[in-house]
Amino acid sequence: MTFVCLSIPAWPTDAATSAELIRRALLLAPRIRAEPTAGRLWADARGLDSRRMALGLLDLVARSVSPAGEPGAPAVPDPVGGEPDPAAAAPADPDADFVLIAPGAGIADTPIAALVASRRAAGRTDPARRRLEIVPPGQDRAYLAPLDLGLLDPPPAPSLFPLLAGIGIENCGDLAALDLQSVEVRFGAEGVRVWRLARAADHRPVFGARPRELPNAMLEWVDYELDRQEQVVFIVNSLLATVTDELLRRRQGAHTMVLEFALADRSVVEVPVRCSAATADRKTWLRVTRAALEPVTFGAAVTRIGMRVASAMPIADRQVDLFDRGHATARATEAALAHLLDKQLDAVVVAEPEAHPLPERRTRWRPDPTGQLPEPPLAVSEPGGPALSIQLFAAPRPIDVRTVTRRGAVIPDRYYDGIRNYTLSATLGPDRVSGGFGEAAFAREYFQGVRADGVMVLLFRDVPSDRWHLAGWWD
């Protein structure tokens, strides 16, 4: 790793200039880290020409912090001793409302050495000297050795200086010569931190983990224009092949893709496409993409189609039991479930029992949009074997009921559901249920009837309205 550090004492304070500076810096270096408050700019020069990169950045920064632009840009002498840029060598604008402090750059193997080098370079007042300081490879510790400990960053705690001075330590080399145990015993954790920096043992993560670029594909043409959706889908299909192949190679599945259409009128239309389950299956994506593009109409002919994965996740290869009978078909089944969920996101449900007195609210159906196959249950048999259980209508059906009085209670004897009459051979009830408050209040009398054909039905009388309903049946 080769670090390039730029110390920029006059970092541009307006956001637009700062953003522009970073944008242009990214053209010179693949990875940039800007620390505006500290006046630092880091660049990753691994495998690249670090000197050239540093010079380019210096020039860029010098022009960016100049108040009037190029005429007032500070001079950046050629580090190899060539002729300085005439424009850069021009005198600064005397009307400028600030005193320009020129930036300096340092190159080293470690962040601390690069940082110290850049500070030293920026501090030079002699314009004839270079504003770039290069620490030879492997010489970071030697470079720091004669320097004052106060140059380290972050600097040692103020309380540490008297202690270090007390044993005659004046520079980084003196401290680095000690062993770890001695430093730890005498100066504690802070001493160890400074000791590491003094030895150029700096492992700070200047550049975070590089996010992997998600798969994408693009096709652009200039000699013809597409205005029919079939043609668009044809090209999307070929782009999908590229993207899904790359996803499969990475063993990832995409959740969301974005289709980008550049039109002949220079406008750009973005169409996000989502799949219910992360997948790299080309057929699935083509189907979902077709459905997403169906309502889309373009205002002009399409001249470019881009496709990029917006979110992806690893395709889980679950550890399964070798004796799992569905092991071989798990992937096909999950693909089928994803297909189904694309049609209706809440199609697959999971029952959650609730302790509500009303039958229709006794179970809450929670959609399961994951598209994952449930874990196989433990091998237990159904308690008691098959048994009739209650089935409910989606909404209770109003019915006409003929009642009889039995021991003071009014019970249904026959009902008409709008199609035919049913005689009840036996009626059990009432089971009175009430509860709730305000508009949610309910009071019902439930009856379990056995029809002449043997079908058991559940009826209830809504007490406030005195209306009869058929709630369900047993099957």
Partner 1 sequence: MPALARRLPARFDPASSAAPALEVASSRSEALRRLLGEKFPDAVLLPDRAAEPIPTGLAVFDQLLPGGGLPRGRMTVWKSPIGGATALLRSSIHSLSSRGERTCWIDGKCSLATEIAAGTILVRPATEALALTAAEILLRSGGFALIVLSGVAPDQHGMLRLSRMVHEGGGAFVALTEKSLTASLRLTSRFLLDRFRWTTGPFGDVAAVESVALEVTASAPGWSRSQVLTLPARTHDFRLSLDPGLADRRGDLG
What part of residues 315-334 is at the interface with partner 1 (CB under 8 A)? 321, 323-326, 329-330, 332-333
- For 145, the token pair is 């050795």
- Looking at the Cβ atoms of 106 and 253, the one nearer to partner 1 is 253
CB of 433 to partner 1, least distance (A): 5
Name which position in 241, 310, 348, 399 contacts partner 1 (CB under 8 A). 348
Residue count, binding to partner 1 (CB under 8 A)? 80
Kindly state whether residue 390 participates in binding partner 1, applying the rule CB under 8 A.
yes
Does 472 bind partner 1 (CB under 8 A)? Our answer is: yes
Among 30, 67, 359, 369, binds partner 1 (CB under 8 A): 359
Compose the 432-461 pattern: x for residues touching partner 1 by CB under 8 A, - for all others.
Answer: xxxxx------x--x-x-x-xxxxx-x---
Considering the rule CB under 8 A, would residue 351 count as an interface residue with partner 1? yes
- CA 475, CA 469: separation in Å to the nearest integer? 19
Nearest distance from C-beta of residue 394 to partner 1, angstroms: 5
Side chain identity, residue 304: R
Which residue, 264 or 443, is less far from partner 1 as judged by CB?
A: 443
Q: Which is nearer to partner 1, 195 or 460 (CB)?
A: 460
Nearer to partner 1, 97 or 382 (CB): 382
- Per rule CB under 8 A, is residue 425 in the interface with partner 1? yes
Under the criterion CB under 8 A, does residue 388 sit at the interface with partner 1?
yes
Extended strands (E) in 238-301: 252-263, 268-279
Closest CB to partner 1 among residues 137, 435: 435
How long a stretch of residues is the chain?
475
Return d(Cα 309, Cα 304) in angstroms, integer.
17
Question: 379, 418, 439, 440: which one contacts partner 1 (CB under 8 A)?
Answer: 379
For 414, residues 6+ apart whose C-beta sits below 8 A from its C-beta are 401, 402, 421, 422, 423, 424
Assess contact for 131 and 57: CB atoms under 8 A: no
* Least Cβ distance, residue 371 to partner 1 (angstroms): 10
Smallest gap, in angstroms, from Cβ of residue 474 to partner 1?
A: 6
What crossing angle do the helices spanning 229-250 and 282-293 adopt, rounded to 10°?
Answer: 140
Burial annotation 167-197 (CB, 10 A radius, 16+ → b, else e):
eebebbbbbbebeeeebeeebeeebebbbbb
Phi and psi at residue 360, to the nearest 5°: -70, -10
27-56 residues in contact with partner 1 (CB under 8 A) are none
Q: Is 431 in the site for partner 1 (CB under 8 A)?
A: yes
Largest pairwise CA distance in the chain: 117
Closer residue to partner 1 (CB): 177 or 455: 455
At 124, the amino acid letter reads R
Residue 430 in contact with partner 1, rule: CB under 8 A = yes
Please report how close the Cβ of residue 32 comes to partner 1 at its closest, in angstroms. Answer: 49
Determine which residue in the list 264, 347, 399, 410 makes contact with partner 1, applying CB under 8 A. 347
Closer of 181 and 381 to partner 1 (Cβ) = 381
Angstrom distance (rounded) from CA 244 to CA 333 = 19
Q: Say whether residue 376 binds partner 1 (CB under 8 A).
A: yes
- 429 forms part of the interface with partner 1 (CB under 8 A): yes
Nearer to partner 1, 202 or 342 (CB): 342
Quote the tokens at residue 264: 């002949």
CB-CB contact of 403 with 416 (8 Å): no
Nearer to partner 1, 121 or 341 (CB): 341
Question: How many Cβ atoms sit within 10 Å of the Cβ of residue 153?
Answer: 16
Q: 472 has which bridge partners?
A: 392, 458
Q: Interface with partner 1 by CB under 8 A: which range of 91-99, 167-175, 274-282, 379-387?
A: 379-387
Binding partner 1 (rule: CB under 8 A), the pick from 269, 310, 392, 399 is: 392
Positions in 158-217 near partner 1 (CB under 8 A):
none
By the rule CB under 8 A, 382 interacts with partner 1: yes
> Containing H/E element for 409?
strand 409-416
- Is residue 423 close enough to count as binding partner 1 by CB under 8 A? no
CA–CA distance from 306 to each of 215, 229, 272, 274, 302 (Å)? 11, 15, 12, 16, 11
Among 150, 364, 409, 421, contact with partner 1 (rule: CB under 8 A): 409
List C-alpha distances in Å: 168 to 78, 173, 397, 449.
Answer: 40, 12, 96, 101
Whether residue 383 has a cis bond before it, omega within 30° of 0: no
Q: Which is nearer to partner 1, 33 or 451 (CB)?
A: 451
Closest to partner 1 by CB, 140 or 445: 445
How far apart CA 429 and CA 427 sit, in angstroms, is: 7
Of 331, 183, 310, 209, residue with least CA distance to 259: 310
Letters for 226-245 (x = contact with partner 1 by CB under 8 A, - = none) are --------------------
User: Which one among 211, 353, 408, 438 touches partner 1, defined by CB under 8 A?
Assistant: 353
